[in-house]
Structure 1
Amino acid sequence: MKITLDTRSLLLGFLGAGLMFAAISFKNDQNQAGGKYRAEVNANNMLVILDSETGNYIIAPAMQSAGKVQWIKGEFDKTFSTATDNKKEPK
């Protein structure tokens, strides 16, 4: 049995393989990191939850295992434009 490859068959083979690699490596345009809300806890146990679509956030300063946590609400755009800190001092 004699196998011969002509240029047309070779070109079609490479084109098919290229299409397969393109189809397999296709990525979705959606953000893979998560959804609408982002949460971050720093070393001082302060929790920040940000709504990434609207810019609203809530902060729980110095979360403790016992006692009440006083949540601070805010809007990122307003806080940034006025350059004021809306953190409340603990009582």
Structure 2
Amino acid sequence: MSHQHSHPHSHDHGSDTESPLSTRQKLARMIHHWIHHTEDHVKSYRQWAEKARQEGLESVAQALERVADGSLELNRILEEAEKQLD
């Protein structure tokens, strides 16, 4: 199954070796990107959960809500890491 996004963004996840940024700076940028990227996914999960609910697919809606909640927990962990880089 391919991984496709409906939201525009670059998928350069910091693999450039030519960048003059330090590892710390790269990590700060990557973590910031991941947090916002995850927020976009959470919105999508919740939208699709509502659509599933409207179609009578409550178990699917609940699964998508759990995924959204889990994603927010991952963001909390990333935010803790981001604070360590400040």
With structure 1 as the length reference, what TM-score do the two structures score?
A: 0.30
User: Where is the strand percentage greater, Structure 1 or Structure 2?
Assistant: 1
Tell me: higher relative CO, structure 1 or 2? Use CA pairs within 8 A at least 6 residues apart.
Answer: 2
Computing the radius of gyration over CA atoms, which structure comes out larger, 1 or 2?
1
User: Where is the helix percentage greater, Structure 1 or Structure 2?
Assistant: 2
With structure 2 as the length reference, what TM-score do the two structures score?
A: 0.32
